[in-house]
Amino acid sequence: GNSVTQMEGPVTLSEEAFLTINCTYTATGYPSLFWYVQYPGEGLQLLLKATKADDKGSNKGFEATYRKETTSFHLEKGSVQVSDSAVYFCALSDHAGGTSYGKLTFGQGTILTVHP
Amino acid sequence: GAVVSQHPSRVICKSGTSVKIECRSLDFQATTMFWYRQFPKQSLMLMATSNEGSKATYEQGVEKDKFLINHASLTLSTLTVTSAHPEDSSFYICSARGYRGTGELFFGEGSRLTVL
């Protein structure tokens, strides 16, 4: 079956540091890949997505590239801010095409704390 | 943007009682809603998929008689934990998929259930 593995947290960084949160997946077929973010007290929000190999999703300075050869979708940001403190979830959908209408399989989440 | 609201956000109940959690789509019609359960430091596990006007589809291992799901309208789905026990204590999250557009999933804030 499908599975998603994220790097364990928590991750603590100083403001303006470089961020990488690793994510690898196991899936049959051609999944779509997502990063969701959950700010304190709020629901999950879609941060970015990629629907096929070599696609790069980007939003709010975050980027992730769909690497089929390494089955990875690592999240990166060049300079984090205090406001980026949140829980980040990597996820995959077993429906290709980008719409997250299929069932989502989530990683365990990574807590990011950014200090001033 | 689209908003999905869950209520209550926190609930404490005695063992043996039943608890109802509501999930509402506030500004769109949700043809499909998903219910997830999240254990501490673990990923979201899909419990069931509910489509408006039909019976919910439960994931393997989820007791349908314990976790009753009703999706009576296009804006409301409810999860009732029947005869709750301490092992049912968890964080329950719903998500809703819109009727039109990309079918993007929108998540509620989650409901934390504690069974004493």
Tokens of A8: 């364990």
Residue with tokens 């489509």: B51
Q: How far is B18 from chain A (nearest CA, A)?
A: 24
The CA-based angle B76-B77-B79, given to 5 degrees, is: 145
Span A55-74, average pLDDT: 96
B34 has pLDDT over 60: yes
Q: How confident is the model at residue B99 (pLDDT cuts 50, 70, 90)?
A: low
Find the radius of gyration of the CA atoms of chain B. Answer: 13
The pLDDT value recorded for residue B48 is 93
Whole-number mean pLDDT of chain A?
Answer: 90
Contact status, residue B47 vs residue B67, Cβ threshold 8 Å: yes
The pLDDT value recorded for residue B100 is 57
Amino acid making up residue A57: G
Contact status, residue B69 vs residue B79, Cβ threshold 8 Å: yes
The pLDDT value recorded for residue B105 is 81
| Interface touch A100/B103, C-beta < 8 Å | yes
User: Is A46 in CB contact (< 8 Å) with chain B?
Assistant: yes
User: Is A3 in CB contact (< 8 Å) with chain B?
Assistant: no
The pLDDT value recorded for residue B86 is 95
Q: How confident is the model at residue A100 (pLDDT cuts 50, 70, 90)?
A: very low
Taking alpha carbons only, the member of B42, B72, B47 closest to residue B58 is: B47
Tokens of B111: 């409901």
Amino acid making up residue A58: S
Cα distances (Å, whole numbers) of residue B8 to A23, A38, B21: 32, 18, 6
DSSP symbol at A72: B
User: Is A75 in CB contact (< 8 Å) with chain B?
Assistant: no
Tokens of B102: 């990309």
Query: Which residue does chain A place closest to B39, by CA atoms?
Result: A108
The pLDDT value recorded for residue A98 is 43
User: Is A41 in CB contact (< 8 Å) with chain B?
Assistant: yes
Tokens of B93: 């999250």
User: Is B108 in CB contact (< 8 Å) with chain A?
Assistant: yes
B108 has pLDDT over 50: yes
User: Measured between alpha carbons, how far is B44 from A104 in angstroms, rounded to an integer?
Assistant: 9
> In a mutagenesis test of the A interface, which of B31, B33, B49, B105 is the best target, namely the one with the most A β-carbons within 10 Å?
B105
A96 has pLDDT over 80: no
The pLDDT value recorded for residue B102 is 58
| Torsion-angle region of B61 (φ positive above 0: left; ψ -120 to 50: alpha; else: beta) | left
B26 has pLDDT over 70: yes
Tokens of A100: 């997250």
A62, burial (CB in 10 Å: exposed 0-12, middle 13-18, buried 19+): buried
pLDDT tens track for A20-51: 999 999 998 788 899 999 888 788 889 999 98
